[in-house]
Structure 1
Amino acid sequence: MLLVAVVEMAEGRAEAGQEYEDRVLAILDRHGGVLERRMRDGTGGTEVHVIRFAGREGYDSFMVDPDRLALRTALGDAAPVTRVIEVRDL
């Protein structure tokens, strides 16, 4: 399962959002996920991640990981907004 995540940091909270992403992306391997690429625009307000999971089960378990959810709750309104797109190689 190949995903592209477009991550928009909360206005004026790019540093907090980037730190959150650092911590959350470190959880991927617990669920069989691999961050293949992480890119950031020049302002630091948007990131793009290319992430691969062995299957949907890994992605689903990542999404409900208690540590991930706790990090997001702790960040509150400063949490980034993420659009995830399932893609395939051509």
Structure 2
Amino acid sequence: MTTPGELLLVALVEMAEGHTEAGQRYEDDVLAYLPRHGGVLERRMRTTDGPTEIHVIRFASRAGYESFMADPDRLTLREQVGAAAPTTRVIEVRDL
């Protein structure tokens, strides 16, 4: 259950064509930054064919999510990955 002020997200992560392994390594690395910002990866799933991941992520606050998105290490890593960087759609959700 989400408590007041928390932010619950589902991220649909599409690996760049031909770069599935590099994209998965990028996700391994960037998800490790979540605790810096009050974030927790609650669940990580991958499609059976591999090019898509689904993440359920909880942040203690919206400010934590915003600081995660602006994290200089995350931004540098994304720049280094270049064309192999996944495309992500983030959806804000709530528990029922």
Structure with bigger gyration radius: 2
5 Å matches for 1:1-90?
1-90=7-96
Tell me the alpha carbon deviations over residues 2-47 of structure 1, each in whole angstroms, 9 at most, x when there is no partner: 0000000000100000000000000000000000000000111000
Percent identity, aligned pairs only, is 74
Distance in 1 (alpha carbons) for counterparts of 2:91 and 2:61: 15
Q: TM-score, normalised by structure 2?
A: 0.93
TM-score, normalized by length of structure 1?
A: 0.99
Structure 2 unpaired stretches of 5+ = 1-6
Tell me the C-alpha RMSD between the 2 structures.
0.4
Moved over 4 A (4+): none
Count of aligned pairs between the two proteins? 90
